[in-house]
Amino acid sequence: MIYLDNAATTLCKPRAVEEAVRRAMRGAAGYARGGYAAAMRAGEAVYGCREQAAALFSVDDPARVVFTMNATHALNLAIHALAQPETRVAVGGYEHNAVMRPLRLRGIEPVVLDAPLWDAAAMAAKAREALDGGAELFILNHVSNVFGFLAPLDEIAALLTERGVPLILDASQSAGVVEVDVRRYPCLAAVCMPGHKALYGPQGTGILLALDDRIAEHPLLAGGTGSLSEEMRQPGFLPDALESGTPNVPGIAGLAAGIAFVRAVGPAGILAHERKLVREFARALGAQDRVECFSHPAQTGVLSLRVEGASCEKVAEALARQQIATRAGLHCAPLAHRTAGTEQTGTVRFSLSFYSTAHQLEHTADVLCKTVKNL
């Protein structure tokens, strides 16, 4: 199988990830709940991952690395803490439902930075307009899961820092692929990410970088933490304030190995590899009159397309019969499709990882061209 659905979950992992999960499953238990050897191993595995993540994102205090089930969980924690029903929120034009639905639950209709696809300058200008209109909180999808569009974080963060407005950064598609140094962005209140995508960890893992102290004051979930057990109130310090219940120690151990792999290769190297392949893939499809590719020199390793006269679901099904895994539809991000004008049709998405190869993309382009002729 040629797996090109890495924007959903990276399937091919470094061998060290599986080995770390196995070791933790066999030898780690009782995290923060005992002083025996297995509990100590669990503590070492979890803290080791905090240190790896803190180093990757330049977080000064590993305690601000909070483990979650996924990026959706992390985003809900941050939104719950920082967005009240009366809060004036602005979002980029590419937000995932993991942002839009929590806002809707709070009765918040955010201002959307409506700007054309690929137009970073227009997006930054819309951000300034939203600030002038009184926006009190920004939520920004760093990289679109549909189009690989890289938002102008530097420009928008500078505006937010100047106005003293906090930013929740959805790094679901950028963590591990794009350099994110939190020290560069004083406005950052939270960075939310999954472990199972470009950090090459297991499914069921995620990270919230809780950079704003207010996040610890408003936990979404309360319960046992192994600390302050004599008190009925939730601990007010990180990470305990946001980590109730027994954590996914095997998953976190595997995530630590995944992050170590990313740090060894370097996000810049991973991004360069994916960009090279996606550009060659788009070029190979350029001669097909019926294929509309949404490509741009600055996109990451995600490419969406439509085929004239064929639904995106039929195209994806035809590719699946040829053992090529893609994803079709709206990708849980109808706002991104509205931005690109593909809300009525959806797209077929091809998303790469560091383990994608030129041969795989050449074969996929060949199969797709033949498929288009037959549809």
DSSP, res 235: P
CA–CA dist 185, 22 (Å, integer): 37
Task: List CB contacts of 98: < 8 A, sequence separation 6 or more.
Answer: 71, 72, 75, 76, 170, 172, 332
Q: What is the pLDDT of residue 238?
A: 96
Tens-digit pLDDT profile for residues 111-153: 999 999 999 999 999 999 999 999 999 999 999 999 999 999 9
**pTM across the whole model:** 0.97
Task: List CB contacts of 132: < 8 A, sequence separation 6 or more.
Answer: none
CA–CA dist 335, 53 (Å, integer): 30
Q: What is the pLDDT of residue 198?
A: 98
DSSP, res 110: P
344 versus 231: the higher-pLDDT residue is 344
Beta bridge partners of 68: 206
CA–CA dist 81, 137 (Å, integer): 12
pLDDT surpassing 90 at residue 157: yes
Q: What is the pLDDT of residue 163?
A: 97
Mean pLDDT of the chain: 97
Tens-digit pLDDT profile for residues 72-118: 999 999 999 999 999 999 999 999 999 999 999 999 999 999 999 99
Tokens at residue 173, please? 């598609």
pLDDT surpassing 90 at residue 375: no
Q: What confidence tier does 365 reach under pLDDT thresholds 50, 70, 90? A: very high
Tens-digit pLDDT profile for residues 11-66: 999 999 999 999 999 999 989 899 999 999 999 999 999 999 999 999 999 999 99
Tens-digit pLDDT profile for residues 231-290: 899 999 999 999 999 999 999 999 999 999 999 999 999 999 999 999 999 999 988 889
Tokens at residue 49, please? 């991952």
pLDDT surpassing 90 at residue 374: no
**DSSP string covering 330-375:** -TT-HHHHHHHT-TTT-EEEEE--TT--HHHHHHHHHHHHHHHHH-
Helix (H, G, I), strand (E, B) or coil at 350: strand
Please tell me the number of Cα atoms within 13 Å of 324 on its side-chain side.
Answer: 24
Tokens at residue 138, please? 């920004």
pLDDT surpassing 90 at residue 202: yes
CB-based contact 142:123 (threshold 8 Å): no
Helix (H, G, I), strand (E, B) or coil at 369: helix
Single-letter residue type at 251: G
